Amino acid sequence: VLLIHGFGGNAEHWRKNGPELAAAGYEVYAVDLLGYGFSSKPDPRSTTPLRVDPSMPERFYNIPMWSEQMGSFLREVCGVKEESAGGQGAMVITNSVGSSVGLEL
């Protein structure tokens, strides 16, 4: 289960939900989106390999970038594979801006 917080929040948003889901037998990850909570806050003007939405080049922290990061997290950390590759997928629970991120996954 991947828990994605909303605007102005962080992983602590899920402090009561995470333990309940874990007690029910789920493997649970609550993450801070880049720029929120305790995550890194890179300078958007620096050279970086992170994706910048071409329609909003002045905006560094955006939904397409966060979605790409969450997709990588699911594959690399959680071991999630595409259904076409025999994978099982993951449950994603979201709030606020996290919902837009989740819809792009």
DSSP bridge pairs for 3: 30, 93
Q: Is the CB of residue 1 less than 8 Å from the CB of residue 21? A: yes
Angstrom distance (rounded) from CA 101 to CA 9: 14
- Owning domain of residue 18: 2-103
Q: How many domains does the chain have?
A: 1
Q: Dump pLDDT digits (tens) for 13-34.
A: 999 999 999 999 999 999 999 8
Task: Evaluate if residue 47 carries a pLDDT over 60.
Answer: no
Choose among 1, 75, 77, 64: nearest CA to 33: 64
Q: Dump pLDDT digits (tens) for 71-80.
A: 999 999 998 9
Q: How far is CA 60 from CA 5, 41, 48, 57, 103, in A?
A: 18, 10, 10, 7, 19
Q: Is the CB of residue 98 less than 8 Å from the CB of residue 5? A: yes
